[in-house]
Structures are given as C-alpha cells and as structure tokens.
Amino acid sequence: MAKKFVELVFDCPFILLKGFLRGLIACKGEEVEYFFPKLAGIESETLKESLKEWLGLESHVHLCIEKDFAESLKGAVEKNYDRLTVKVVSEKDIKDAYFTFSFAFFEEKALSEFKKVIEKAVNECEGCKIQFEKGEGFEPMVDDFGGGIAPVVSAKRYFLNGKVQGYLPSVVSLRNLISEQKIGDISKIKLIFEE
C-alpha cells in the first residue's frame, strides 16, 4: 500500500532542520522516505516566498515526508522549541505529484526508442501514469559563420511532449531518470494537495 505524504513548512534554517530530522530518524531506528523540494526538483515556493527568503526576511524550509512520521517530527519540534526555535508554519496533505517534459529528435526511430524507455520505467513505478503527445514539424536552424548569423536549411524534427503523474516517490524517481538523459526540457515537480 502506498504511503501518504505531507508537505510541512518550517520556520528555521535549512541545515538545522536537516540535522534535526536525520538525528530523529536515527534515534527512532526507522526508515523514512522524505524529500527536500529544493534538492528533489519539487516546486514548492511562491514567488513571494522566494523573494522573502532571498532578501533574508524569512527562512522557510519545505519538507515532503511520510505522514505517519510527520506526527513524530512535529511532536519533537514542539518539545525542543525552547532550544531550537523551530516551528511548523503549515501542513498540507499531498494527493499527487506531476511533471511535464518536452523532447525533440531528428529521427522518428530515436523518438520511438526513447518513448519505450520512458513507458517501461513508468510501468515499473508504483502508482504512476503517463500521457504522451507526439508531433512533428520543421524547425529553422541557424549557423554562425564568423561574420554573423546565416540561415541554414530547415531540419525536420519529431517532438515528444508528455506528463507523468502519480505517487510522489515514483514521480521523483522518474524525473531523476529522465533528467539524466539531458536531451530535453523537464519541468519541476508540482504537488497536488488534498482539498
């Protein structure tokens, strides 16, 4: 059965929360799956939050963690507030996660092979589905001949766009696998929260 995840937002420095979390997990002797959005490619902050953090006005840390362990973490943070001054600012239940991608190939065969690799990876992951959108077209190419940019013959390109959606750990794993290919554009992971 898939574990439930929550996004917790803490008011504290990142390194403090990371150390506290790892220490708590080690003390409890449990295996806990968690993701710091900045490190896992998860979009978690609004522009307003990013600006406040960049200007040094606030230091919020987002953490996606198993819901069962989140209760232990919140309890430990509350007990140690006097020493750490760490507090939970918000908590949201995560329903799903997704990311989109866009790739361009010069050969249709290469596109088909890459599509098969992605489909196989998605089928091996728990609770994920994928949607594809194929297309083709001509993309003008330019070349720099030293004295300026000169147009070159248009090349036919085959495009593969898609969306992977599902269980958070599986989506993070798939995004890492696809981004290792370094051949296209991949969005950050977006979280879908429970109502």
pLDDT in tens, 4-45: 999 999 988 889 999 999 999 999 998 999 999 988 999 876
Q: Band of the pLDDT at 98, cuts 50, 70, 90? A: very high
pLDDT in tens, 120-170: 988 998 899 999 887 766 655 555 555 555 455 556 778 889 999 999 999
Give percent of the chain with pLDDT exceeding 90.
Answer: 46
Position 72 scores a pLDDT of 94
14-28 helix and 67-79 helix, angle to the nearest 10 degrees: 110
How many residues would you count in the chain?
Answer: 195
Position 69 scores a pLDDT of 96
Within this chain, domains 5-95 and 96-193 share the same CATH topology: yes
Position 107 scores a pLDDT of 84
> How many other C-beta atoms are found inside a 10 Å radius of the C-beta of residue 115?
17
Using alpha carbons, select from 154, 158, 153 the residue that is nearest to residue 133.
158
Q: What is the pTM of this model?
A: 0.81
Residue 57 has pLDDT above 70, yes or no: no
Integer Cα distance of 133 and 124 in angstroms? 21
| 180 vs 65, residue with greater confidence | 65
Integer Cα distance of 147 and 119 in angstroms? 45
Integer Cα distance of 73 and 67 in angstroms? 10
Spatial neighbors of 90 by CB under 8 A, at least 6 apart, are 7, 8, 9
Position 91 scores a pLDDT of 94
Give percent of the chain with pLDDT exceeding 70.
Answer: 82
Cβ burial, residue 69 (10 Å; 0-12/13-18/19+) = buried
Which CATH number is correct for 96-193, 3.20.20.150, 3.30.420.310, 3.40.50.150, 3.30.70.120? 3.30.70.120
Which class does domain 5-95 fall in? alpha beta
Residue 47 identity (one-letter amino acid): L
pLDDT in tens, 131-144: 988 776 665 555 55
Domain ranges of the chain: 5-95, 96-193
Helix then strand then coil, % of the chain, to nearest 5: 35, 40, 20
